[in-house]
Structure 1
Amino acid sequence: MRNILVVVDMQNDFIDGALGTKEAQEIVDRAADKIRRFEGEIYGTLDTHQKDYLTTQEGKKLPVPHCICGEEGWALNSEIMEAISESKGNVHSFCRKETFGSMELADLIKKDCKGEEIQIELIGLCTDICVISNAMILKAAFPEAVVSVDATCCAGVTPDSHQNALEAMKMCQIEIIC
């Protein structure tokens, strides 16, 4: 069985930048520790926007420029980058994504695993937007795989929306680790 860890959008803008929260800041150490100790395959996502972000549908609904490609807010958090470099796991691609979920991530895992039995665990930001979106895509792509989310290594836009997302994922047979 192949063990996969997906690190979702652990970028500066979601931690202490444009859309950062104290809850996001509080999970960085736990997420970094999990990455360092993980023995398996590590994939990730990078929320990626362009300078025209405010003209996009997302930008019109969330008019806060964030994760603009190449800017400091787009970069992975330095502690997370350090943990990735020290990880015991086999680090694969971090997919750039312009929307909440990444079909490319699911396709990449499918290609790399070639039908092998897998289990997938997700950590990252934001539980109620990109973590839930990617968990649902991965559960749909791998219906027989155990897909789980470590709630202690995730944070939502608010504590309530974080909890609501965890409950929604439970209903879709995504295991929640507390």
Structure 2
Amino acid sequence: MRKILVVVDMQKDFVDGALGTKEAVSIVPKVVEKIKSYDKNDVIFTRDTHQTDYMQTQEGANLPVEHCIEGTPGWEIDENIKALSEGATIVDKPTFGSTKLAEMIKDIAAKEDIEIELIGLCTDICVVSNALMLKAFMPEVPISVDSSCCAGVTPDKHDAALETMRSCQIKVY
């Protein structure tokens, strides 16, 4: 069975930039090792991608911190991970969950048996959103999250998101 790794939003702004946390910085070495354990053809990266009008959007009104503006240094994949993303599939997403990502993986699942593993940032926003969307698109595909390769906005929100995913039959370890 093919195992696909989804690396969610490991971008400078979420690691040590505008919305970075010490927890996000601390997972980077584990994320690097996890990515290296997969064939490059089985790794899909997502990038949170906003435009210069971010502050005028609904998200910007609710999270008024400019981040991941396309083309800026904060939008780039973290420097420790960037080389591993070269040549891999990258999905730019304008919001928390990506229907494009779910459709892409659903097409793969239609042709072969797969499992999906998610890692990245932030556990309580984009990781949980994509995990639940993938589960909704493919309820019979095994989906897991490596909690040691994720960090939330806060440790409590990280734990709450992990519990939500467990409740929705996503394996968390």
- TM-score calculated relative to the size of structure 2: 0.95
> 1:157-177, CA deviations, whole angstroms, 9 ceiling, x for partnerless residues?
000000000000000000001
Q: How many Å separate the matches in 2 of 1:22 and 1:172?
A: 28
> 1:37-94, CA deviations, whole angstroms, 9 ceiling, x for partnerless residues?
1246111210000000000000000000000000000000011112345xxxxx6421
> 1:73-128, CA deviations, whole angstroms, 9 ceiling, x for partnerless residues?
0000011112345xxxxx64211111100000011112234342110000000000
User: Does the 8 Å contact 1:3/1:118 carry over to 2?
Assistant: yes
Aligned residue pairs total: 172
Confirm or deny that 1:130 pairs with 2:126: yes
User: Does the 8 Å contact 1:15/1:24 carry over to 2?
Assistant: yes
Q: How many Å separate the matches in 2 of 1:68 and 1:114?
A: 34
Query: What's the counterpart of residue 80 of structure 1?
Result: 81
Output the amino acid matched with 1:52: D
Query: What's the counterpart of residue 23 of structure 2?
Result: 23
Over the matched positions of the two proteins, sequence identity in percent amounts to 56
Secondary structure at the aligned position of 1:78 is classed as: coil
Query: What's the counterpart of residue 9 of structure 1?
Result: 9
How big is the alpha-carbon RMSD for the aligned residues of Structure 1 and Structure 2? 1.2
Query: What's the counterpart of residue 88 of structure 1?
Result: none
Q: How many Å separate the matches in 1 of 2:108 and 2:170?
A: 22
For structure 1, the 5+ residue unaligned runs are: 86-90
Query: What's the counterpart of residue 141 of structure 2?
Result: 145
- TM-score calculated relative to the size of structure 1: 0.93
Q: How many Å separate the matches in 2 of 1:164 and 1:19?
A: 19
Q: How many Å separate the matches in 1 of 2:37 and 2:132?
A: 25
User: Does the 8 Å contact 1:35/1:84 carry over to 2?
Assistant: no
Query: What's the counterpart of residue 108 of structure 2?
Result: 112
Output the amino acid matched with 1:98: P
Deviation at 1:156, TM superposition (A): 0.1
Query: What's the counterpart of residue 36 of structure 2?
Result: 36
